[in-house]
A and B are shown apart, each in its own frame.
Chain A
Amino acid sequence: GESVGLHLPTLSVQEGDNSIINCAYSNSASDYFIWYKQESGKGPQFIIDIRSNMDKRQGQRVTVLLNKTVKHLSLQIAATQPGDSAVYFCAENGSGGTSYGKLTFGQGTILTVHP
């Protein structure tokens, strides 16, 4: 079946540095992607999304880049803060068949920000 995966399971950065979290997806037909942040004991929190007709989208301190040629997605966090420490998941929204409208989550990256 289709899957969404991450290259790095853990990432440690110093406060103030920029963070980059990567994600590979396998379904070339996917047209919508979402990044979520999950803090311990809580549900995933929406960060930013991007549709396949775009290659970059910016939010507040976050940027998502989409490279459809190599099926790669990344989340950039500028000036990372201790409050950014969490698990980050990319998710692919199914575009057809039995996966239509359903999210497939990557394995997650644990981001730790050191003061």
Chain B
Amino acid sequence: GAVVSQHPSWVICKSGTSVKIECRSLDFQATTMFWYRQFPKQSLMLMATSNEGSKATYEQGVEKDKFLINHASLTLSTLTVTSAHPEDSSFYICSARAGYPNQPQHFGDGTRLSIL
């Protein structure tokens, strides 16, 4: 149980294009979803938190106009990297949590984004 699917797993695109990443909870309803960024050999850094039907809450230093988050249903959240540039290249990982804050987050397998 508690499976989170993330798609695509890997994407390469030209600078200036926008990229959408999907995160789905397959066997549970996710009231809250999270988006993280991870650089090589480093820990996970929280970018934003989204609750179904509400606007996402962004961490300090994360540009909300650059990283658009939509959480339209209890099983789907999307992250769109707008006008991507090489410095946006990274490993993006989503997680989902079913209920109360003192429940574990379950993670997708990440999306490797490379901007040329």
A43 in contact with B109 given A102-B49, A105-B43, A105-B44 (CB within 8 Å): yes
Give the residue of B42, B43, B104 whose beta carbon is less than 8 angstroms from that of A46.
B104
Establish whether residues B107 and A93, one from each chain, have CB atoms under 8 Å apart when the complex forms: no
Residue of B102, B104, B109 near A42 (CB, 8 A) is: B109
Contacts of A36 in B (CB 8 A): 107
Smallest CB-CB separation from B102: which chain A residue? Answer: A32
With most chain A CB atoms within 10 A of its CB, the pick from B2, B4, B43, B46 is: B43
CA distance in complex: A89, B2 (Å): 19
Would A43 and B110 count as touching, CB distance under 8 A?
yes
Interface residues of A in 18-56 (CB under 8 A from B): 31-32, 34, 36, 41-46, 49, 51
What are the residues of chain A within 8 A of B44 when measuring CB–CB? 44, 89, 103, 105
Contact with A along B24-51 (1 / 0, CB 8 A): 0000000010100000001110100100
Interface residues of A (CB under 8 A from B): 31-32, 34, 36, 41-46, 49, 51, 89, 93-94, 100-103, 105-108
Q: Please report the C-alpha to C-alpha distance between residue A41 and residue B112 in the assembled complex, in whole angstroms.
A: 8
Q: How many of chain B's residues have a CB under 8 angstroms from any CB in A?
A: 23
CB within 8 Å of A: which B88-108 residues? 93, 95, 97, 101-102, 104-108
Q: What is the CA–CA distance of A94 and B49 in the complex, to the nearest angstrom?
A: 13
Measured between C-beta atoms, what is the minimum distance from A64 to chain B in Å?
13
B78 contacts across to A, CB distance below 8 A: none
In angstroms, how far is the closest chain B Cβ from the Cβ of A44? Answer: 5
Task: Collect the chain B residues with CB atoms within 8 Å of residue A106's CB.
Answer: 43
Whether B6 sits at the interface, judged by CB under 8 Å, is yes
The reply to whether A42 and B110 form a contact with Cβ atoms under 8 Å apart is: yes
Give a binary string over B2-37; 1 marks a CB under 8 Å from any A CB, 0 the rest.
101010000000000000000000000000101000
